[in-house]
Chain A
Amino acid sequence: MKKAIQLKVTVWIEGEDEPAHNFAESSMQDIKDIISAGRWRHPGLSVTVKNVVEETDYDADDAGKPKPM
């Protein structure tokens, strides 16, 4: 039986960076690379990163919504 699931994963990324460098942009690219790098350990799964959005909605108790494109 072929199964599929769409997961929402919250990832905290921390590291050294120049203050004015766009950390969000580079981190979003990095997480795609990190997920891609682990695919070989699970050859039976087809993994597609569909959307990566920074969580900026700290104001509310619930999770924020991504900006419209």
Chain B
Amino acid sequence: VSRSRNTFNPFASVGSFVIFAIIVLIYLYQSGFFDQFLKPSPSQPITPPPSAGGTIVPGAAGALPNMPQKPVAQQITFKGCPPEGDGSDVGLNRAKNRVDEGNYVPVSFDAVLGLKWPMTIERKDRVKWAAADTANIAQWEGIPIAVEGYLFDAKEEGPESPNCHGADTENHDFHVWMTQNAGEDRTKSIVIETTPRVRANKPTWTVKALDAIAKNKTRVRIGGWLMMDQEHPDQVDKTRGTIWEIHPIMRIEIQQGGNWTPL
């Protein structure tokens, strides 16, 4: 008995179709076709913080206020980067990445510069802090404050974990040194930082603009959140006076003709 070579074999046809379909699916998967269904698109609109809101509480600058009930920090995912960043100290990153406005209490420069911290927290991730140390820092961290002074310098930082190691300027913090007096060096400065999330609505907050303010020795009033950055104790008395920071900065005002003008 001989078999015809031209006999139609439905199983072979179905098999060919299945193999073809698998090849097409693999190609589509590798080309990223399914990404739009499986994960958020990079072009997905972000939810930037409100540009308005927040006030300077009337009154003279003084001591840090006693504020047992602090505003609850609000965070957003910014360009796919969650408030926790992409690793390192998650608690610190969340503190850096808050975006909410507050009612900023005027405090003296010395009130921040002279605020103590336990040495046992230095260069230690927050989850490893002792409970007493956590409570100590929590007493002050998260107070919305406004401090007057002068800018020493501004510098764009590099890729960091709170910003998911983004490589571009739009994903970098701007590190600014604030001094009490014009022309002072930075050994007794307070570090204040702008973050990408807040800067998304502040197009005038550029390093160039901040440098010009520093160069012109224009008095500034900075509103933002008091925050402990335990990572940099080695810089104290060298390139900063304290590891308490205003971070993130929410308001930058410059003194012009006796009035405060937003940057």
The interface of chain A, by Cβ under 8 A from chain B, is: 14, 17-25, 55-61, 64-65, 67-68
Contacts and interface: CB of A to CB of B under 8 A. Distances in A.
Contacts of B159: 23
A59 B164 contact: no
B88 A20 contact: no
B167 A14 contact: yes
Nearest to A22: B87
A53 to B, nearest CB: 12
A17 B158 CA distance: 17
Contacts, number: 58
A19 B164 contact: yes
A60 B87 contact: no
Nearest to B164: A19
Interface string B215-240: 00000000000000001101100111
A32 B239 CA distance: 33
B126 interface: no
Interface string B147-166: 00000000101111100110
27 contacts: A14-B167, A18-B80, A19-B79, A19-B81, A19-B82, A19-B86, A20-B80, A20-B82, A20-B164, A23-B159, A23-B164, A24-B86, A24-B87, A24-B88, A24-B161, A55-B158, A56-B161, A57-B231, A58-B155, A58-B157, A58-B160, A59-B235, A59-B240, A60-B238, A60-B239, A61-B239, A67-B123
B238 A22 contact: no
Contact of B86 (A22, A65, A67): A22
A13 B133 CA distance: 36
Interface residues of B, number: 27
A60 B235 CA distance: 7
A19 B239 CA distance: 31
Interface of B: 79-82, 84, 86-88, 123, 155, 157-161, 164-165, 167, 175, 191, 231-232, 234-235, 238-240
A19 B161 CA distance: 10
Nearest to B177: A59
A30 to B, nearest CB: 13
Nearest to A27: B165
A23 B165 contact: yes
B198 to A, nearest CB: 18
Contacts of B81: 19-20
Nearest to A58: B157
B82 A56 contact: no
A56 B164 CA distance: 13
Tell which of A14, A17, A24, A61 has the most Cβ of chain B within 10 Å.
Answer: A24
Nearest to A25: B87
Contact of A65 (B165, B234, B240): B234
Nearest to B165: A23
Contacts of A24: 86-88, 161, 165
Contacts of A65: 234
